[in-house]
């Protein structure tokens, strides 16, 4: 049986200041998995809380990169039967000052994408079959899959 290649992992966070400590635990765990060779690499990106889609900010290079990343995540969800509607929420709001309405893309506090080469193999958080999969759960699953594979190898040898 051919082993699955180690994924390249990208973690996206709103801020590097975690209020709950959960983000720190996820980053530390990913770095340990990287050191152990479970993941090829683990990179952390700050992406903020939201992006207003009709502003100049959305047209900047960084705004376009962010929107392209979310578009790729949504493409993965469509191909894999998952939904990103909860974590990646488009919200229509109206300004009380100007009366204009605008669409804002709200980003999750923490999200993770796994890549095999350039192809996305998983995005969390997501919902599938009514169940929400979190980043924390996915990181622990990666660790457990590796532990099972190592145990299986030890039994065969």
- Write down the domain spans for the chain: 8-156
pLDDT for position 135: 97
Asked whether the predicted pLDDT for residue 8 surpasses 70, the reply is: yes
Q: 152-155: long-range contacts at Cβ-Cβ below 8 A with a sequence spacing of 24 or more?
A: none
How much is the pTM?
0.85
* Mean pLDDT in residue range 30-48: 94
Q: How far is CA 3 from CA 23, 43, 87, 153, in A?
A: 29, 23, 31, 11
Asked whether the predicted pLDDT for residue 156 surpasses 90, the reply is: no
Q: How far is CA 136 from CA 31, 43, 101, in A?
A: 14, 16, 35
Task: Check if the beta carbon of residue 92 is closer than 8 Å to that of residue 103.
Answer: yes
CA Rg value for the chain: 18
Task: For the chain, give the number of residues.
Answer: 157
How far is residue 114's CA from residue 8's CA, in Å, rounded to a whole number?
6
Percentage of residues in the chain having pLDDT higher than 90: 67
Q: How far is CA 95 from CA 18, 46, 51, 102, in A?
A: 30, 27, 15, 8
pLDDT for position 67: 96
Strand positions, DSSP E, 1-53: 8-13, 41-46, 50-52
pLDDT for position 1: 46
Question: pLDDT, tens digit, for every residue of 46-98?
Answer: 999 999 998 898 999 999 999 999 999 999 999 999 999 989 989 888 878 88
């Amino acid at each position: 049986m051919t082993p699955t290649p180690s994924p390249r992992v990208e973690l996206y966070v709103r801020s590097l200041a975690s209020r709950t400590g959960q983000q720190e635990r996820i980053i530390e765990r990913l770095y340990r998995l990287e050191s152990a060779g479970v993941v090829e690499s683990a990179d952390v990106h700050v992406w903020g809380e939201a992006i207003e889609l009709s502003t100049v900010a959305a047209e900047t290079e960084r705004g376009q990169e962010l929107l392209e990343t979310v578009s790729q995540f949504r493409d993965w969800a469509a191909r894999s039967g998952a939904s990103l509607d909860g974590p990646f929420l488009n919200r229509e709001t109206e300004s009380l000052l100007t009366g204009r309405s605008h669409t804002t893309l709200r980003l999750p506090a923490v999200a993770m994408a796994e890549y095999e080469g350039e192809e996305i193999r998983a995005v969390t958080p997501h919902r599938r079959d009514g169940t929400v999969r979190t980043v924390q759960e996915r990181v622990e699953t990666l660790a457990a899959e590796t532990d099972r594979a190592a145990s299986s190898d030890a039994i065969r040898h």
